[in-house]
Chains A and B, each alone.
Chain A
Amino acid sequence: MSNHKGLNFTLKVWRQKNAAAKGEFKEYPVTNVSPDSSFLEMLDIMNEDLLHKGEDPVYFDHDCREGICGMCSLFINGRPHGPGEEITVCQLHMREFNSQDGGVITIEPWRAAAFPVIKDLVVDRTAFDRIQQAGGYVSINTGGIPDANAIPIPKEIADKAMDAATCIGCGACVAACKNASAMLFVSAKVSQFSLLPQGQAEKSRRVLAMVNQMDEEGFGACTNTGACEAECPKGVSLENIARMNRDYFGAALSTEH
Protein backbone atom coordinates (compact mmCIF):
# COMPACT_ATOMS: atom_id res chain seq x y z
CA MET A 1 0.00 0.00 0.00
CA SER A 2 1.17 3.45 -0.79
CA ASN A 3 1.28 5.89 2.07
CA HIS A 4 1.01 8.89 -0.25
CA LYS A 5 -1.93 11.19 0.26
CA GLY A 6 -4.50 11.14 -2.50
CA LEU A 7 -4.23 13.79 -5.22
CA ASN A 8 -6.98 16.01 -6.55
CA PHE A 9 -7.35 17.07 -10.16
CA THR A 10 -9.75 18.88 -12.45
CA LEU A 11 -10.09 17.07 -15.78
CA LYS A 12 -11.01 19.09 -18.86
CA VAL A 13 -12.29 16.38 -21.17
CA TRP A 14 -13.44 16.57 -24.79
CA ARG A 15 -17.01 15.24 -25.03
CA GLN A 16 -18.61 14.54 -28.38
CA LYS A 17 -21.74 12.41 -28.81
CA ASN A 18 -20.90 11.04 -32.25
CA ALA A 19 -18.92 11.78 -35.41
CA ALA A 20 -21.42 14.37 -36.61
CA ALA A 21 -22.01 16.15 -33.29
CA LYS A 22 -20.26 19.33 -32.26
CA GLY A 23 -18.11 18.53 -29.26
CA GLU A 24 -17.13 20.61 -26.27
CA PHE A 25 -14.92 20.47 -23.19
CA LYS A 26 -16.53 19.39 -19.90
CA GLU A 27 -14.87 19.67 -16.51
CA TYR A 28 -14.81 16.77 -14.05
CA PRO A 29 -13.21 16.91 -10.62
CA VAL A 30 -11.42 13.73 -9.48
CA THR A 31 -10.42 13.43 -5.85
CA ASN A 32 -8.19 11.26 -3.69
CA VAL A 33 -6.32 9.74 -6.65
CA SER A 34 -3.40 7.50 -5.71
CA PRO A 35 -0.12 8.85 -7.14
CA ASP A 36 0.66 5.27 -8.14
CA SER A 37 -2.47 4.75 -10.20
CA SER A 38 -2.11 4.81 -13.95
CA PHE A 39 -3.78 7.48 -16.03
CA LEU A 40 -6.30 4.98 -17.37
CA GLU A 41 -7.14 3.71 -13.87
CA MET A 42 -7.81 7.30 -12.88
CA LEU A 43 -10.21 7.60 -15.84
CA ASP A 44 -11.89 4.31 -14.82
CA ILE A 45 -12.57 5.76 -11.37
CA MET A 46 -13.96 8.93 -12.92
CA ASN A 47 -16.22 6.87 -15.20
CA GLU A 48 -17.54 4.81 -12.27
CA ASP A 49 -18.49 8.05 -10.59
CA LEU A 50 -20.27 9.17 -13.76
CA LEU A 51 -22.12 5.84 -14.02
CA HIS A 52 -23.24 6.11 -10.39
CA LYS A 53 -24.64 9.52 -11.16
CA GLY A 54 -26.42 8.09 -14.19
CA GLU A 55 -24.30 10.07 -16.67
CA ASP A 56 -22.75 8.81 -19.88
CA PRO A 57 -19.15 7.69 -19.14
CA VAL A 58 -16.26 9.16 -21.12
CA TYR A 59 -15.31 6.89 -24.02
CA PHE A 60 -11.62 6.23 -24.57
CA ASP A 61 -9.64 3.50 -26.34
CA HIS A 62 -7.57 0.99 -24.39
CA ASP A 63 -6.80 -2.71 -24.42
CA CYS A 64 -3.55 -4.30 -23.21
CA ARG A 65 -2.69 -1.65 -20.62
CA GLU A 66 0.97 -2.61 -20.82
CA GLY A 67 2.22 -0.52 -23.72
CA ILE A 68 2.10 -3.11 -26.50
CA CYS A 69 -1.24 -2.90 -28.30
CA GLY A 70 -1.31 0.76 -29.36
CA MET A 71 -4.97 1.29 -28.53
CA CYS A 72 -4.68 3.98 -25.86
CA SER A 73 -4.51 7.35 -27.55
CA LEU A 74 -5.03 10.51 -25.53
CA PHE A 75 -3.63 13.98 -26.08
CA ILE A 76 -2.87 15.06 -22.52
CA ASN A 77 -1.80 18.60 -21.59
CA GLY A 78 -0.66 19.31 -25.12
CA ARG A 79 1.23 16.10 -25.84
CA PRO A 80 0.27 12.68 -27.26
CA HIS A 81 0.41 10.08 -24.47
CA GLY A 82 1.01 12.97 -22.05
CA PRO A 83 4.29 13.89 -20.39
CA GLY A 84 7.20 11.45 -20.25
CA GLU A 85 9.36 9.93 -22.97
CA GLU A 86 8.70 6.69 -24.87
CA ILE A 87 5.57 5.68 -22.99
CA THR A 88 1.93 5.12 -23.85
CA VAL A 89 -0.97 6.54 -21.82
CA CYS A 90 -1.43 3.20 -20.05
CA GLN A 91 2.18 3.46 -18.82
CA LEU A 92 1.68 6.97 -17.48
CA HIS A 93 1.21 7.48 -13.73
CA MET A 94 -0.61 10.18 -11.83
CA ARG A 95 2.52 11.10 -9.86
CA GLU A 96 3.76 12.77 -13.05
CA PHE A 97 1.07 15.45 -12.71
CA ASN A 98 1.04 18.63 -10.73
CA SER A 99 -2.01 18.73 -8.46
CA GLN A 100 -1.35 22.35 -7.42
CA ASP A 101 -3.54 25.26 -8.60
CA GLY A 102 -6.58 23.06 -9.20
CA GLY A 103 -4.46 20.45 -11.02
CA VAL A 104 -6.08 21.02 -14.41
CA ILE A 105 -5.43 18.23 -16.93
CA THR A 106 -6.70 18.76 -20.48
CA ILE A 107 -7.56 15.58 -22.38
CA GLU A 108 -8.25 15.71 -26.13
CA PRO A 109 -8.61 13.11 -28.87
CA TRP A 110 -6.00 12.75 -31.66
CA ARG A 111 -6.73 15.54 -34.13
CA ALA A 112 -6.42 14.68 -37.82
CA ALA A 113 -8.73 14.75 -40.82
CA ALA A 114 -7.79 11.11 -41.41
CA PHE A 115 -8.66 10.19 -37.79
CA PRO A 116 -12.26 11.41 -37.35
CA VAL A 117 -13.68 11.39 -33.81
CA ILE A 118 -16.14 8.53 -33.29
CA LYS A 119 -17.16 9.46 -29.75
CA ASP A 120 -15.52 11.54 -27.01
CA LEU A 121 -11.84 10.58 -27.04
CA VAL A 122 -12.14 7.66 -29.45
CA VAL A 123 -10.96 8.27 -33.01
CA ASP A 124 -11.26 6.10 -36.10
CA ARG A 125 -7.77 4.85 -36.98
CA THR A 126 -8.79 2.46 -39.74
CA ALA A 127 -6.88 4.69 -42.16
CA PHE A 128 -3.77 2.94 -40.79
CA ASP A 129 -5.33 -0.45 -41.56
CA ARG A 130 -6.05 0.59 -45.13
CA ILE A 131 -2.44 1.72 -45.58
CA GLN A 132 -1.29 -1.69 -44.31
CA GLN A 133 -3.73 -3.46 -46.60
CA ALA A 134 -2.36 -1.50 -49.56
CA GLY A 135 1.02 -3.20 -49.26
CA GLY A 136 2.23 -3.74 -45.71
CA TYR A 137 2.68 -7.49 -46.11
CA VAL A 138 4.60 -10.22 -47.92
CA SER A 139 2.35 -11.90 -50.52
CA ILE A 140 3.85 -15.35 -50.54
CA ASN A 141 3.30 -17.97 -47.90
CA THR A 142 6.63 -18.04 -46.11
CA GLY A 143 6.16 -21.59 -44.83
CA GLY A 144 7.73 -22.97 -41.67
CA ILE A 145 10.69 -21.61 -39.76
CA PRO A 146 13.81 -21.83 -41.97
CA ASP A 147 17.03 -23.41 -40.71
CA ALA A 148 19.24 -21.07 -38.76
CA ASN A 149 21.54 -19.16 -41.09
CA ALA A 150 19.66 -20.34 -44.20
CA ILE A 151 18.90 -16.66 -44.89
CA PRO A 152 21.92 -14.64 -43.79
CA ILE A 153 20.98 -11.22 -42.37
CA PRO A 154 23.63 -9.00 -40.77
CA LYS A 155 22.92 -8.26 -37.12
CA GLU A 156 22.66 -4.46 -37.59
CA ILE A 157 20.12 -4.89 -40.38
CA ALA A 158 18.06 -7.33 -38.32
CA ASP A 159 18.17 -4.86 -35.43
CA LYS A 160 16.94 -2.01 -37.62
CA ALA A 161 14.11 -4.15 -38.97
CA MET A 162 13.16 -5.11 -35.42
CA ASP A 163 13.26 -1.47 -34.30
CA ALA A 164 10.89 -0.55 -37.13
CA ALA A 165 8.67 -3.50 -36.27
CA THR A 166 8.19 -2.21 -32.71
CA CYS A 167 5.70 0.34 -34.06
CA ILE A 168 2.38 -0.38 -32.36
CA GLY A 169 0.29 1.74 -34.73
CA CYS A 170 -0.92 4.06 -31.98
CA GLY A 171 -0.95 7.19 -34.16
CA ALA A 172 0.91 9.43 -31.70
CA CYS A 173 3.17 10.46 -34.58
CA VAL A 174 0.16 11.77 -36.51
CA ALA A 175 -1.24 13.42 -33.39
CA ALA A 176 2.05 15.18 -32.60
CA CYS A 177 2.81 16.37 -36.14
CA LYS A 178 1.68 19.89 -37.03
CA ASN A 179 0.76 18.48 -40.48
CA ALA A 180 -0.96 15.35 -39.11
CA SER A 181 1.53 13.44 -41.21
CA ALA A 182 1.72 9.65 -41.01
CA MET A 183 5.26 9.39 -42.36
CA LEU A 184 6.76 7.80 -39.24
CA PHE A 185 4.12 5.07 -39.08
CA VAL A 186 4.23 4.33 -42.82
CA SER A 187 8.02 4.41 -42.93
CA ALA A 188 8.19 1.94 -40.03
CA LYS A 189 5.81 -0.41 -41.83
CA VAL A 190 7.76 -0.03 -45.10
CA SER A 191 11.15 -0.48 -43.41
CA GLN A 192 10.37 -3.61 -41.41
CA PHE A 193 10.03 -5.41 -44.74
CA SER A 194 12.33 -3.54 -47.09
CA LEU A 195 15.31 -4.16 -44.81
CA LEU A 196 14.87 -7.94 -44.95
CA PRO A 197 15.39 -10.35 -47.87
CA GLN A 198 11.85 -11.74 -47.58
CA GLY A 199 10.44 -8.25 -48.01
CA GLN A 200 12.73 -7.07 -50.75
CA ALA A 201 11.00 -8.88 -53.61
CA GLU A 202 8.01 -6.52 -53.33
CA LYS A 203 9.89 -3.52 -52.02
CA SER A 204 9.07 -1.09 -54.86
CA ARG A 205 5.46 -2.07 -55.34
CA ARG A 206 4.89 -1.90 -51.59
CA VAL A 207 6.29 1.57 -51.00
CA LEU A 208 4.44 3.08 -53.96
CA ALA A 209 1.12 1.56 -52.88
CA MET A 210 1.47 2.50 -49.21
CA VAL A 211 2.54 6.10 -49.86
CA ASN A 212 -0.28 6.43 -52.37
CA GLN A 213 -2.82 5.18 -49.82
CA MET A 214 -1.35 7.44 -47.13
CA ASP A 215 -1.89 10.47 -49.39
CA GLU A 216 -5.37 9.30 -50.30
CA GLU A 217 -6.35 9.11 -46.63
CA GLY A 218 -5.55 12.81 -46.26
CA PHE A 219 -2.48 12.72 -44.01
CA GLY A 220 -0.16 15.72 -44.41
CA ALA A 221 3.36 15.95 -45.82
CA CYS A 222 6.58 15.91 -43.79
CA THR A 223 8.27 19.16 -42.72
CA ASN A 224 10.94 17.18 -40.83
CA THR A 225 10.10 18.87 -37.52
CA GLY A 226 10.90 15.60 -35.74
CA ALA A 227 7.85 15.87 -33.45
CA CYS A 228 6.82 12.30 -34.36
CA GLU A 229 10.12 10.74 -33.34
CA ALA A 230 10.15 12.74 -30.09
CA GLU A 231 6.65 11.57 -29.15
CA CYS A 232 6.72 8.00 -30.46
CA PRO A 233 6.29 5.61 -27.50
CA LYS A 234 8.55 3.10 -29.24
CA GLY A 235 11.30 5.52 -30.28
CA VAL A 236 10.87 4.77 -34.00
CA SER A 237 13.62 6.76 -35.76
CA LEU A 238 13.42 9.42 -38.48
CA GLU A 239 15.96 7.29 -40.31
CA ASN A 240 12.97 5.21 -41.41
CA ILE A 241 11.41 8.23 -43.14
CA ALA A 242 14.65 8.86 -45.03
CA ARG A 243 14.70 5.18 -46.05
CA MET A 244 11.08 5.36 -47.22
CA ASN A 245 11.90 8.48 -49.27
CA ARG A 246 14.85 6.68 -50.91
CA ASP A 247 12.75 3.59 -51.57
CA TYR A 248 9.92 5.68 -53.01
CA PHE A 249 12.08 7.68 -55.42
CA GLY A 250 14.01 4.57 -56.39
CA ALA A 251 10.73 2.81 -57.13
CA ALA A 252 9.23 5.78 -58.98
CA LEU A 253 12.29 5.98 -61.23
CA SER A 254 12.54 2.27 -61.99
CA THR A 255 10.30 -0.03 -63.99
CA GLU A 256 11.11 -3.29 -62.23
CA HIS A 257 7.94 -3.72 -60.26
Chain B
Amino acid sequence: MSWVKQTLNSTLGQKVIMSLTGLFLVTFLIVHLIGNLQILKADGGDAFNVYAAFMSTNGLIHAVSYGMYAAIIAHVVYAITLTLRNKKARPVSYAVQDAKANSSWASRSMMLLGSMILVFLVLHLVHFWAKYKMGWIAYDFKMVTIEGVQYRDIASLVIETFKDPIAVGIYVLGLIGLGFHLNHGFQSAFQTLGLNHKSYNNFIKGFGAIFSIVMAVLYAVMPLYVFFS
Protein backbone atom coordinates (compact mmCIF):
# COMPACT_ATOMS: atom_id res chain seq x y z
CA MET B 1 0.00 0.00 0.00
CA SER B 2 2.77 2.44 0.84
CA TRP B 3 4.27 1.88 -2.62
CA VAL B 4 0.95 2.77 -4.25
CA LYS B 5 0.62 5.77 -1.99
CA GLN B 6 4.12 7.05 -2.63
CA THR B 7 3.88 6.62 -6.38
CA LEU B 8 0.45 8.21 -6.67
CA ASN B 9 1.32 11.08 -4.33
CA SER B 10 4.46 12.00 -6.21
CA THR B 11 4.31 14.93 -8.61
CA LEU B 12 4.74 12.51 -11.50
CA GLY B 13 2.12 10.07 -10.21
CA GLN B 14 -0.49 12.79 -9.71
CA LYS B 15 0.14 14.02 -13.22
CA VAL B 16 -0.36 10.55 -14.68
CA ILE B 17 -3.77 10.43 -13.05
CA MET B 18 -4.59 13.79 -14.67
CA SER B 19 -3.37 12.53 -18.00
CA LEU B 20 -5.20 9.18 -17.99
CA THR B 21 -8.48 10.59 -16.66
CA GLY B 22 -8.19 13.48 -19.12
CA LEU B 23 -7.72 11.15 -22.08
CA PHE B 24 -10.57 8.94 -20.86
CA LEU B 25 -12.79 12.03 -20.77
CA VAL B 26 -11.71 12.79 -24.32
CA THR B 27 -13.05 9.44 -25.52
CA PHE B 28 -16.30 10.17 -23.72
CA LEU B 29 -16.53 13.54 -25.47
CA ILE B 30 -16.37 11.81 -28.85
CA VAL B 31 -19.10 9.27 -28.02
CA HIS B 32 -21.36 11.90 -26.48
CA LEU B 33 -20.97 14.17 -29.50
CA ILE B 34 -22.07 11.51 -31.96
CA GLY B 35 -25.32 11.22 -30.02
CA ASN B 36 -25.82 14.97 -29.80
CA LEU B 37 -25.64 15.40 -33.51
CA GLN B 38 -28.72 13.14 -33.87
CA ILE B 39 -30.83 16.12 -32.87
CA LEU B 40 -29.87 17.81 -36.12
CA LYS B 41 -31.74 15.11 -38.05
CA ALA B 42 -35.04 16.53 -39.29
CA ASP B 43 -37.13 13.62 -37.94
CA GLY B 44 -38.93 15.40 -35.10
CA GLY B 45 -36.34 14.20 -32.58
CA ASP B 46 -36.95 10.47 -33.10
CA ALA B 47 -33.33 9.45 -33.66
CA PHE B 48 -32.25 11.51 -30.66
CA ASN B 49 -34.88 9.97 -28.37
CA VAL B 50 -33.95 6.43 -29.41
CA TYR B 51 -30.27 7.17 -28.86
CA ALA B 52 -30.92 8.69 -25.42
CA ALA B 53 -32.96 5.67 -24.35
CA PHE B 54 -30.20 3.35 -25.52
CA MET B 55 -27.56 5.31 -23.60
CA SER B 56 -29.48 5.14 -20.35
CA THR B 57 -30.53 1.48 -20.50
CA ASN B 58 -27.67 -0.42 -22.14
CA GLY B 59 -25.74 -2.42 -19.52
CA LEU B 60 -22.27 -1.85 -20.94
CA ILE B 61 -22.83 1.88 -21.33
CA HIS B 62 -24.13 1.89 -17.79
CA ALA B 63 -20.95 0.30 -16.46
CA VAL B 64 -18.72 2.66 -18.48
CA SER B 65 -20.69 5.65 -17.22
CA TYR B 66 -19.69 4.80 -13.64
CA GLY B 67 -16.06 4.77 -14.76
CA MET B 68 -16.75 8.16 -16.27
CA TYR B 69 -18.13 9.60 -13.02
CA ALA B 70 -15.04 8.30 -11.22
CA ALA B 71 -12.77 9.79 -13.89
CA ILE B 72 -14.31 13.24 -13.73
CA ILE B 73 -14.23 13.27 -9.93
CA ALA B 74 -10.61 12.10 -9.86
CA HIS B 75 -9.66 14.64 -12.53
CA VAL B 76 -11.20 17.50 -10.56
CA VAL B 77 -9.84 16.34 -7.18
CA TYR B 78 -6.32 15.98 -8.57
CA ALA B 79 -6.65 19.27 -10.48
CA ILE B 80 -7.28 21.03 -7.17
CA THR B 81 -4.57 19.05 -5.35
CA LEU B 82 -1.96 19.84 -8.00
CA THR B 83 -2.95 23.48 -8.31
CA LEU B 84 -2.58 23.96 -4.55
CA ARG B 85 0.71 22.07 -4.53
CA ASN B 86 2.01 24.21 -7.38
CA LYS B 87 0.91 27.45 -5.69
CA LYS B 88 2.74 26.38 -2.55
CA ALA B 89 5.92 25.89 -4.56
CA ARG B 90 5.86 29.60 -5.55
CA PRO B 91 4.62 31.43 -2.41
CA VAL B 92 6.00 34.82 -3.47
CA SER B 93 5.15 35.85 -7.01
CA TYR B 94 7.18 38.13 -9.26
CA ALA B 95 6.46 41.84 -9.42
CA VAL B 96 7.07 41.77 -13.17
CA GLN B 97 6.52 38.62 -15.19
CA ASP B 98 6.65 38.30 -18.96
CA ALA B 99 5.05 34.86 -19.12
CA LYS B 100 3.88 35.17 -22.71
CA ALA B 101 7.53 35.21 -23.77
CA ASN B 102 7.87 31.55 -22.83
CA SER B 103 4.48 29.80 -22.70
CA SER B 104 0.93 29.84 -24.04
CA TRP B 105 -1.97 31.38 -22.16
CA ALA B 106 -3.98 28.15 -22.22
CA SER B 107 -1.13 26.16 -20.69
CA ARG B 108 -0.96 28.62 -17.80
CA SER B 109 -4.74 28.73 -17.29
CA MET B 110 -5.71 25.07 -17.04
CA MET B 111 -7.44 25.47 -13.66
CA LEU B 112 -9.45 28.49 -14.84
CA LEU B 113 -10.40 26.70 -18.06
CA GLY B 114 -11.26 23.53 -16.12
CA SER B 115 -13.47 25.57 -13.79
CA MET B 116 -15.32 27.00 -16.79
CA ILE B 117 -15.95 23.42 -17.93
CA LEU B 118 -17.09 22.46 -14.43
CA VAL B 119 -19.67 25.27 -14.18
CA PHE B 120 -21.05 24.22 -17.54
CA LEU B 121 -20.95 20.56 -16.55
CA VAL B 122 -22.93 21.03 -13.34
CA LEU B 123 -25.57 23.05 -15.15
CA HIS B 124 -25.67 20.43 -17.89
CA LEU B 125 -26.18 17.59 -15.41
CA VAL B 126 -29.00 19.51 -13.74
CA HIS B 127 -30.63 20.22 -17.10
CA PHE B 128 -30.69 16.68 -18.45
CA TRP B 129 -28.93 13.96 -16.53
CA ALA B 130 -30.61 14.58 -13.16
CA LYS B 131 -34.02 14.63 -14.86
CA TYR B 132 -33.72 11.96 -17.52
CA LYS B 133 -31.21 9.45 -16.25
CA MET B 134 -31.26 9.71 -12.46
CA GLY B 135 -34.75 11.04 -11.93
CA TRP B 136 -33.47 13.21 -9.08
CA ILE B 137 -35.31 16.20 -10.43
CA ALA B 138 -38.96 15.48 -11.19
CA TYR B 139 -39.84 16.19 -14.78
CA ASP B 140 -42.96 15.17 -16.62
CA PHE B 141 -41.61 13.85 -19.92
CA LYS B 142 -43.95 13.73 -22.89
CA MET B 143 -44.20 10.24 -24.34
CA VAL B 144 -43.69 9.54 -28.03
CA THR B 145 -44.19 6.30 -29.93
CA ILE B 146 -41.51 5.37 -32.43
CA GLU B 147 -42.01 2.14 -34.41
CA GLY B 148 -44.45 0.88 -31.83
CA VAL B 149 -42.16 1.51 -28.79
CA GLN B 150 -42.81 4.21 -26.20
CA TYR B 151 -40.00 6.66 -25.53
CA ARG B 152 -39.64 9.62 -23.18
CA ASP B 153 -39.32 12.71 -25.33
CA ILE B 154 -36.00 14.21 -24.25
CA ALA B 155 -35.68 16.01 -27.59
CA SER B 156 -38.37 18.48 -26.55
CA LEU B 157 -36.65 19.02 -23.16
CA VAL B 158 -33.46 19.90 -25.08
CA ILE B 159 -35.37 22.36 -27.24
CA GLU B 160 -37.09 23.89 -24.21
CA THR B 161 -33.74 24.26 -22.36
CA PHE B 162 -31.92 25.87 -25.24
CA LYS B 163 -34.54 28.56 -25.73
CA ASP B 164 -33.08 30.18 -22.58
CA PRO B 165 -30.34 32.65 -23.62
CA ILE B 166 -28.59 32.44 -20.22
CA ALA B 167 -28.28 28.66 -20.44
CA VAL B 168 -27.00 28.88 -24.02
CA GLY B 169 -24.53 31.59 -22.95
CA ILE B 170 -23.10 29.44 -20.15
CA TYR B 171 -22.89 26.45 -22.50
CA VAL B 172 -20.99 28.40 -25.12
CA LEU B 173 -18.63 29.85 -22.49
CA GLY B 174 -18.01 26.35 -21.10
CA LEU B 175 -17.29 25.06 -24.58
CA ILE B 176 -14.82 27.85 -25.26
CA GLY B 177 -13.14 26.77 -22.02
CA LEU B 178 -13.16 23.17 -23.25
CA GLY B 179 -11.56 24.18 -26.55
CA PHE B 180 -8.64 25.95 -24.87
CA HIS B 181 -8.36 23.22 -22.18
CA LEU B 182 -7.93 20.57 -24.85
CA ASN B 183 -5.75 22.79 -26.99
CA HIS B 184 -3.06 22.50 -24.35
CA GLY B 185 -4.28 19.38 -22.56
CA PHE B 186 -4.43 16.92 -25.45
CA GLN B 187 -0.74 17.04 -26.34
CA SER B 188 0.22 17.61 -22.71
CA ALA B 189 -1.31 14.27 -21.72
CA PHE B 190 1.06 12.42 -24.07
CA GLN B 191 4.13 14.24 -22.76
CA THR B 192 3.06 13.34 -19.21
CA LEU B 193 2.97 9.67 -20.18
CA GLY B 194 6.46 10.00 -21.60
CA LEU B 195 5.27 9.78 -25.21
CA ASN B 196 7.54 12.32 -26.86
CA HIS B 197 9.28 11.40 -30.09
CA LYS B 198 10.14 13.59 -33.02
CA SER B 199 8.48 11.18 -35.45
CA TYR B 200 5.00 11.70 -33.97
CA ASN B 201 5.17 14.90 -31.90
CA ASN B 202 3.98 17.06 -34.76
CA PHE B 203 1.09 14.71 -35.43
CA ILE B 204 -0.08 14.78 -31.80
CA LYS B 205 0.24 18.55 -31.57
CA GLY B 206 -1.48 19.15 -34.91
CA PHE B 207 -4.22 16.63 -34.22
CA GLY B 208 -4.81 18.08 -30.73
CA ALA B 209 -5.06 21.63 -32.07
CA ILE B 210 -7.63 20.67 -34.73
CA PHE B 211 -9.47 18.27 -32.41
CA SER B 212 -9.90 20.94 -29.71
CA ILE B 213 -11.47 23.39 -32.15
CA VAL B 214 -13.69 20.75 -33.81
CA MET B 215 -14.95 19.54 -30.42
CA ALA B 216 -15.81 23.02 -29.13
CA VAL B 217 -17.50 24.04 -32.38
CA LEU B 218 -19.52 20.85 -32.90
CA TYR B 219 -20.72 20.85 -29.29
CA ALA B 220 -21.73 24.50 -29.60
CA VAL B 221 -23.72 23.73 -32.76
CA MET B 222 -26.48 21.97 -30.79
CA PRO B 223 -27.51 24.74 -28.35
CA LEU B 224 -26.95 27.46 -30.94
CA TYR B 225 -28.92 25.59 -33.60
CA VAL B 226 -31.85 25.06 -31.24
CA PHE B 227 -31.70 28.64 -29.96
CA PHE B 228 -31.76 30.20 -33.40
CA SER B 229 -34.24 27.84 -35.06
Residues in chain A within 8 A of chain B (CB atoms): 12, 25, 75, 77-79, 106, 108, 111-114, 176, 178-181, 183, 211-212, 214-215, 218-227, 230-231, 238-239, 241-246, 248-249, 252
Contacts and interface: CB of A to CB of B under 8 A. Distances in A.
Given A227-B103, A231-B102, A242-B195, A108 B86 contact: no
Given A77-B98, A238-B191, A245-B191, 10 more contacts: A78-B99, A112-B89, A113-B88, A181-B86, A214-B11, A218-B88, A221-B82, A221-B85, A222-B15, A223-B188
Contact of B86 (A25, A220, A230, A245): A220
A220 B103 contact: no
Majority SS at the chain B contact face: helix
Given A221-B86, A242-B196, A78 B107 contact: no
Contact of B101 (A79, A178, A181, A249): A79
Contact of A181 (B89, B94, B102): B89
B182 interface: no
B91 interface: yes
Given A178-B99, A221-B86, A246-B194, A211 B11 contact: yes
A200 B196 CA distance: 20
Interface residues of B, number: 41
Contacts of A219: 11, 89
Contacts of A244: 12
Contacts of A221: 11-12, 14-15, 82, 85-86
A248 B10 CA distance: 11
A25 B95 CA distance: 9
B94 A245 contact: no
B191 A224 contact: yes
A257 to B, nearest CB: 13
Nearest to B7: A252
Contact of B98 (A78, A220, A226, A245): A78
B57 interface: no
Contacts of A249: 12, 16, 194
